[in-house]
Structures are given as C-alpha cells and as structure tokens.
Amino acid sequence: MAVQKLGRGLLERIVRVVDFRVDERTRGLAERVNNLEHATADHRRRLDSAEHGLEQARGDLRWARAELDRLIPHVAAQEGRLETLRESMSLVPNADAPQIAEARTLIEEIQRQHAQIRVRLAGISRYEDRLRRLEDSLSVPAGE
C-alpha cells in the first residue's frame, strides 16, 4: 500500500507538471488565437469596406460607359460634318480664266483702296495730334 501511495503521489506530481506545462503552452496559444481572431475581424471589416467602394466604382464606371456609348454617335456625326465642311472649303470654284482674272483685279482694287484709307487715317491722326498740341499751347492755366 505504501508503494501504491508513493506511486500515486509520484503520478500526481507528474500529472501536475505535465498539466502546468500544457497550460503554459495553451495560454500562449490562446492569446495567439485571440489576436488572430481580432486581426481576422479587422480584415473582414476592411474587405467589406473595399468591396463596397469597389461596387460604387463599378456603378460609376457603368454610368460613364453608358454616357460614352451615348456620345460616340454624336461625336462621329460632328466629325463627319467637319470633314464635309473642310472638303467644301478646300474646293476651288469652277471658273474660267476671265472670271479668275476679274476676281484678281477686284482683289487688287480692294487692296489698293485699303492702302489709301490707311494713308488717309494716318493723315487724320497727325492732323488731330497737331490740333491737340495747338490747343494745349493756347490754353492758359487759370492760376497764371
């Protein structure tokens, strides 16, 4: 019986040492699991927020795509009109040599008359400048 008692005592001590070491290791493991749970919850929250933002961006992209699809035909039509206008402006009107010569004569006459008008305007400007200087020299200050 004494041997049994001694054996049980020894066995109880071994169990306590093993339990102590297991508790010590599981306590660290429990803290680590707890930290991982908090990190996982934070990651889930951030992922949900990112998914929400992504869904908003997808909605904005769908709207922009619809607007682009709506505007493309209008832009193409405008480009067609511009090209037609550009072609019509670059075409030389059908005219024979006498009509072209008459048009050149008219252009030269207009240029000559413009030159004469510029000369007359310059003369008028000089005349007005002389009148202003004359008026300035004739005006006597009130205090003198």
- Give pLDDT tens digits for 21-69: 776 667 777 788 889 999 999 999 999 999 999 999 999 999 999 998 8
User: In whole angstroms, what is the distance from residue 48 CA to residue 40 CA?
Assistant: 12
User: In whole angstroms, what is the distance from residue 39 CA to residue 45 CA?
Assistant: 10
Decide if 67 contacts 59 (C-beta within 8 A): no
**129 Cβ contact partners less than 8 Å away, ≥ 6 residues apart:** none
The 10s digit of each residue's pLDDT in 3-15 is: 777 778 778 888 8
Determine how many CB atoms are found less than 10 A away from the CB of residue 125.
Answer: 10
DSSP calls for 23-47: HHHHHHHHHHHHHHHHHHHHHHHHH
Rounded to the nearest 5 percent, the helix, strand and coil shares of the chain are 90, 0, 10
User: In whole angstroms, what is the distance from residue 14 CA to residue 98 CA?
Assistant: 128
Residue 111 above 80 pLDDT? yes
